Amino acid sequence: MSERRKIAEALNGGLLTIEQDSASGGELLSGKLARQVEQLIIDRGLEPGDRLPSERELAAMFGVSRSVVRDAIASLEQRGLVKARTGSGIYVRDGSKGAVADVLGHMLRREVISLPELMETRRLVEIHNAGKAAQRASPEALEALGSTLERQQGSVGPLDLVQADVAFHEVLSQAAGNKVLAMLLSSLRPLLMEGMLMGTVLEGARDVAIQEHIAIYDAVRTRDGEAARRQMSEHLRRSYREWADAGYLDLESSLFGDD
């Protein structure tokens, strides 16, 4: 069965319907449809170049007018998620990763995703990444990682600091050599940004974070995978404590049992 046929059946089979979405209130139909198509792309893991149902097919599946579909597709095009090609069809674009990031960021702000869930995910991905980066990082990757440290040390203000902090973790994930995990961490960017900004209100947090990054970098540079994993675990543990110290949550030490 073709991917386009599977998509059509998912839409037409009642898996995604505008009527079922009771949380959207007075949102325009085009906005509801845009969110449903966005969610479909995310849920099915569609790749750039995959073709979606046509404008006419989407209108029939959702019971809306073609003008509603056109407005929804135009909204998704503006975000870089899809591309409508005249006479050809509607295709997924490279912006799909950005759509995942947008969705996750909204979910954290609406408390659909919790801070403990974010930290648990980070531990599962980033401790592994640190160890693998120590084994696999190329000279170019080490240079890029060092550059993010320099940027963090020269940062001015909380936002600049956090952007450099996130860049360090993203470059480290790329150095680990697993593209799936690198894409996963990249999709978490808005959550990482918001979570890290919470800790910047604490005195001394900036200097401690930089020192911990240096320790992780040194372990990766010297090919000490065990030390890299340990340093990353301690870094995440301290970040979690920061959220508690800043009043955003109660400590749940069970998150940091076995690494």
Percent of all residues in the chain with a pLDDT value above 90, rounded to a whole number: 36
- Beta strands across the sheet bearing 51-52: 51-52, 89-92, 82-85
Same-domain check for residues 46 and 139: no
Same-domain check for residues 126 and 32: no
Q: Kindly list the distances between the CA atom of residue 254 and the CA atoms of 76, 257, 258, in Å, as whole numbers in the listed order.
A: 41, 5, 9
Same-domain check for residues 248 and 207: yes
Same-domain check for residues 107 and 124: yes
pLDDT, residue 99, reads 54
Question: What is the pLDDT of the chain when averaged over all its residues?
Answer: 81
Highest mean pLDDT among 11-20, 24-33, 131-140, 153-162: 131-140
At 179 the three-state DSSP class reads helix
Distance of alpha carbon 20 from alpha carbon 31, whole angstroms: 14
Q: Quick: pLDDT tens for 212-251.
A: 999 999 999 999 999 999 999 999 999 988 888 877 777 6
The structural domain count of the chain equals 2
Q: What is the mean pLDDT of the segment spanning 121-149?
A: 96
pLDDT, residue 21, reads 44
Same-domain check for residues 10 and 66: yes
Same-domain check for residues 161 and 238: yes
**Which domain CATH number covers 19?**
1.10.10.10
pLDDT, residue 219, reads 98
Q: What number of other Cβ atoms are within 10 A of residue 58's Cβ?
A: 23
Q: H helices within 111-138, ranges in order?
A: 115-122, 128-136
**Which domain CATH number covers 113?**
1.20.120.530
Whose CA is closest to 42, among 90, 81, 3? Answer: 81
Distance of alpha carbon 49 from alpha carbon 113, whole angstroms: 30
pLDDT, residue 7, reads 58
Per the CB < 8 A criterion, the answer to whether 246 and 198 are in contact is yes
Same-domain check for residues 48 and 151: no
Q: What is the mean pLDDT of the segment spanning 167-187?
A: 92
The overall pTM is greater than 0.75: no
Where is pLDDT greater, at 83 or 140?
140
pLDDT for residue 103 is more than 70: no
Token representation of residue 192: 């990482």
Percent of all residues in the chain with a pLDDT value above 70, rounded to a whole number: 77
Whose CA is closest to 59, among 82, 37, 79? Answer: 37
pLDDT for residue 27 is more than 70: no
Q: Quick: pLDDT tens for 79-99.
A: 777 888 888 899 988 654 555
pLDDT for residue 52 is more than 50: yes
Domain boundary among 37, 59, 94: 94
Distance of alpha carbon 48 from alpha carbon 63, whole angstroms: 27
pLDDT, residue 28, reads 78
Token representation of residue 51: 């073709």
